[in-house]
Chain A
């Protein structure tokens, strides 16, 4: 067994071997899904609860589909509408859910660290579906799988991450994952959207898009997170698009076979030109969505195996 984690809270605590194990399995699931092979037995009898304290369509749908394809009983809860508004704390919600004995808990929360906190209080496997500006591990894993399939490898690539890095958990998880796999990471953002100390993570930091994109293999665009901005970070969306939006001219500085990625949902005409996003020769955005389901299937499969092993060990101890 080369995947030992009990939870998937972030990339930070994953070993490169664990990442590779997960991506290999996800690769298999992606192929089998394309061929129509079903795996209803993998999570049969297990309950998966999706708890989203923040709006999400794609991630939630992706987790739901992944669970259903593997045969889990899936329940999704939109938390804004329920007990949180009645004043219940996160920990009470966690304890309540824990009493219902779920096996897999998928959580998204607007505050950094909230999913870690919750994981301490429950005895099922917790998957972080994004916590504040901290981590979004399944997004980084699906990005990694997409890159690996497009480029044939996941090491010694030059990868640019561009845009709203300050508010992005996707960027943090990707920096961590791509760094662990020994890639060259270039961060491109207006200085107001660049967190401090990023050069200390071993990244190259650029404020000029053309300079930053020079000869990269992968261009990863980020969504401008307007909902997290509480004050002027950029003068206007049109100036942002002019200086940092990905268009054909700026993309020409990257390698001719460079791929374009975006975690979605896209703000067309803000961070990315619609024509680039739709260019089937460059854009792998649709593949990312496809890989998302595969990666989540693999993550839940591996965590469920560990969960079953842990429970079996506990029963042996009791007998």
Chain B
């Protein structure tokens, strides 16, 4: 029986919404006791002195792209696991937009096996909602669920055929499967590289109105009223979509929403002179949208903050802006970037960890995300104030496409534990 005692820890509890000094005992991979005193006596325990820094439930990141199968040169389970451990992420929920798409139990089993072999953190795979993510026929949702798929999504492809989508939702509902959708009206946003506005006009780039997000969300909400399915909008990034989300929640629909950390910390102007590392999907928004979305996270209207980790190699990014691939890596920068909101006094640490750990755990039906007896000891120990300048070449990810290269950030992960085992430390 192994015992680890974390003393002098600033415990961040997203359930009680507290941030206080205490200690925590881990036994056999589970949290055995939480102490209100900083230095309790426990016999036979290995002591970790947290030195007054934060100890919080490990981050559960929904929507991580690991490029296996198909593009292992961009990111493998080993490199993604290392990146997650370095970033305080203890569970990654992976996307099925691989090559080929994860749309059969066979491919899912391959992914689960690779993850078990190589990844340092917990991996929960998602599967495609339609075959080949083509929006025509639904996948074998039941078999995939049996094989371990935790949610169903076509990732950044929107199912344009409402008949197909409503049937998939209805069927998924019968299995109580979670459906995750990208909210972006596909015709309006076709070919767009940035959000419309003065900046887009100045740079002469094809642009999409922020209204495209609300249009897609409105449609999906109508379908939820019809089908009653369990639904999560992957990224809500505009102010205009928020009232619709609020109404849908108030009406008792089973809807939750997430947002990528980049949309919380960057805006459209960061693209500057066609910097393709800032090309995301959906594109970065105006500053007003960013502030509205940050407020929505603080209010709990948006439930989840994720990294939308999307590895891309140099070749797919070193192109003219319109032709360059979208997406950014984020596993290692998720926490320090999110801490910008804490340092800007827009959000407290317990609120932040509700969005990073507790809410995604609840959505996935996990016991993690909590600092209480009986919960798995998935923990992150970090100094929220330690400053550093990010050098992308030091990232653990195989791909280095981060928009934060050279950025000054605060917040260093000192240790990451999965099931009581140390998987990454400074």
Measured CB to CB, the residues of A under 8 A from B are 12, 89-91, 109, 111-114, 116-117, 131-135, 169, 172, 195-198, 200-201, 230
Q: Told that A195-B200, A198-B201 touch, could you supply 8 new A-B pairs with CB distance under 8 A?
A: A109-B320, A111-B320, A112-B204, A112-B321, A113-B203, A117-B318, A117-B320, A200-B198
* Structural contact, B274 and A113, CB atoms closer than 8 A: yes
* Structural contact, A113 and B202, CB atoms closer than 8 A: no
* Structural contact, B323 and A111, CB atoms closer than 8 A: yes
Beyond A111-B320, A111-B323, A113-B274, is A133–B198 a contact (Cβ under 8 Å)?
no
**How many angstroms from the CA of A200 to the CA of B201 in the assembled complex?**
10
Q: Point out the residues of chain A lying under 8 angstroms from B197, CB to CB.
A: 196-197
Q: Contact mask B194-229 → A, CB, 8 Å, 1/0?
A: 001111111111010000000000000000000000
How distant is A111 from chain B, measured CB to nearest CB, in Å?
4
CB-defined A-B contacts under 8 Å, sample of 16: A12-B202, A89-B319, A90-B320, A117-B320, A132-B204, A132-B320, A133-B204, A134-B203, A134-B205, A172-B201, A172-B204, A195-B200, A196-B198, A196-B207, A197-B196, A201-B201
Chain B, Cβ-Cβ closest to A230? B191
**How many angstroms from the CA of A119 to the CA of B319 in the assembled complex?**
13
**How many angstroms from the CA of A112 to the CA of B204 in the assembled complex?**
6
Q: Point out the residues of chain B lying under 8 angstroms from A135, CB to CB.
A: 204
Q: Point out the residues of chain B lying under 8 angstroms from A132, CB to CB.
A: 204-205, 320, 322
* Structural contact, B203 and A112, CB atoms closer than 8 A: yes
Measured CB to CB, the residues of B under 8 A from A are 191, 196-205, 207, 273-274, 315, 318-323
Chain B, Cβ-Cβ closest to A113? B274
**Which one, B205, B274, B318, contacts A91 given CB within 8 A?**
B318
Q: Point out the residues of chain B lying under 8 angstroms from A112, CB to CB.
A: 203-205, 274, 320-322
**How many angstroms from the CA of A109 to the CA of B318 in the assembled complex?**
15
Q: Point out the residues of chain B lying under 8 angstroms from A195, CB to CB.
A: 200-201
Q: Point out the residues of chain B lying under 8 angstroms from A230, CB to CB.
A: 191
Q: Point out the residues of chain B lying under 8 angstroms from A111, CB to CB.
A: 320-323
Q: Point out the residues of chain A lying under 8 angstroms from B196, CB to CB.
A: 196-197
Q: Point out the residues of chain B lying under 8 angstroms from A91, CB to CB.
A: 318-319
How distant is B243 from chain A, measured CB to nearest CB, in Å?
22
**Which one, A90, A113, A196, contacts B273 given CB within 8 A?**
A113
User: How many residue-residue contacts, CB under 8 A, span A and B?
Assistant: 69
Beyond A116-B273, A169-B204, is A89–B198 a contact (Cβ under 8 Å)?
no
**How many angstroms from the CA of A135 to the CA of B198 in the assembled complex?**
15
**How many angstroms from the CA of A113 to the CA of B201 in the assembled complex?**
13
**How many angstroms from the CA of A8 to the CA of B66 in the assembled complex?**
42
Beyond A133-B205, A196-B207, is A113–B200 a contact (Cβ under 8 Å)?
no
Beyond A116-B274, A135-B204, is A201–B198 a contact (Cβ under 8 Å)?
yes
Chain A, Cβ-Cβ closest to B318? A91
Q: Point out the residues of chain B lying under 8 angstroms from A197, CB to CB.
A: 196-201
Q: Point out the residues of chain B lying under 8 angstroms from A172, CB to CB.
A: 201-202, 204
**How many angstroms from the CA of A40 to the CA of B201 in the assembled complex?**
41
Chain B, Cβ-Cβ closest to A165? B201
How distant is B249 from chain A, measured CB to nearest CB, in Å?
31
Q: Point out the residues of chain B lying under 8 angstroms from A200, CB to CB.
A: 198
**How many angstroms from the CA of A111 to the CA of B315 in the assembled complex?**
17
Q: Point out the residues of chain B lying under 8 angstroms from A117, CB to CB.
A: 274, 318-320
Q: Point out the residues of chain B lying under 8 angstroms from A196, CB to CB.
A: 196-198, 200-201, 207
* Structural contact, B198 and A114, CB atoms closer than 8 A: no
* Structural contact, B198 and A113, CB atoms closer than 8 A: no
Chain B, Cβ-Cβ closest to A195? B201
How distant is B210 from chain A, measured CB to nearest CB, in Å?
11
* Structural contact, A113 and B191, CB atoms closer than 8 A: no
Q: Point out the residues of chain A lying under 8 angstroms from B204, CB to CB.
A: 112, 131-135, 169, 172
Chain A, Cβ-Cβ closest to B207? A196
**How many angstroms from the CA of A111 to the CA of B274 in the assembled complex?**
11
**How many angstroms from the CA of A172 to the CA of B204 in the assembled complex?**
8
Q: Point out the residues of chain A lying under 8 angstroms from B315, CB to CB.
A: 89
Q: Point out the residues of chain B lying under 8 angstroms from A116, CB to CB.
A: 273-274
**How many angstroms from the CA of A130 to the CA of B293 in the assembled complex?**
37
**How many angstroms from the CA of A114 to the CA of B318 in the assembled complex?**
10
Q: Which of A112, A114, A195 has the most CB of B within 10 A?
A: A112
**How many angstroms from the CA of A109 to the CA of B322 in the assembled complex?**
12
Q: Point out the residues of chain A lying under 8 angstroms from B318, CB to CB.
A: 89, 91, 117
Q: Point out the residues of chain A lying under 8 angstroms from B199, CB to CB.
A: 197
Chain B, Cβ-Cβ closest to A198? B201
How distant is A260 from chain B, measured CB to nearest CB, in Å?
25
Q: Point out the residues of chain B lying under 8 angstroms from A133, CB to CB.
A: 204-205
**How many angstroms from the CA of A116 to the CA of B205 in the assembled complex?**
14
Chain A, Cβ-Cβ closest to B271? A113
**How many angstroms from the CA of A316 to the CA of B274 in the assembled complex?**
35
How distant is B75 from chain A, measured CB to nearest CB, in Å?
22
* Structural contact, B207 and A113, CB atoms closer than 8 A: no
Chain A, Cβ-Cβ closest to B197? A197
How distant is B112 from chain A, measured CB to nearest CB, in Å?
35
Chain B, Cβ-Cβ closest to A91? B318
How distant is A268 from chain B, measured CB to nearest CB, in Å?
27
How distant is B194 from chain A, measured CB to nearest CB, in Å?
10
**How many angstroms from the CA of A196 to the CA of B201 in the assembled complex?**
7
How distant is B180 from chain A, measured CB to nearest CB, in Å?
30
Q: Point out the residues of chain B lying under 8 angstroms from A90, CB to CB.
A: 319-320
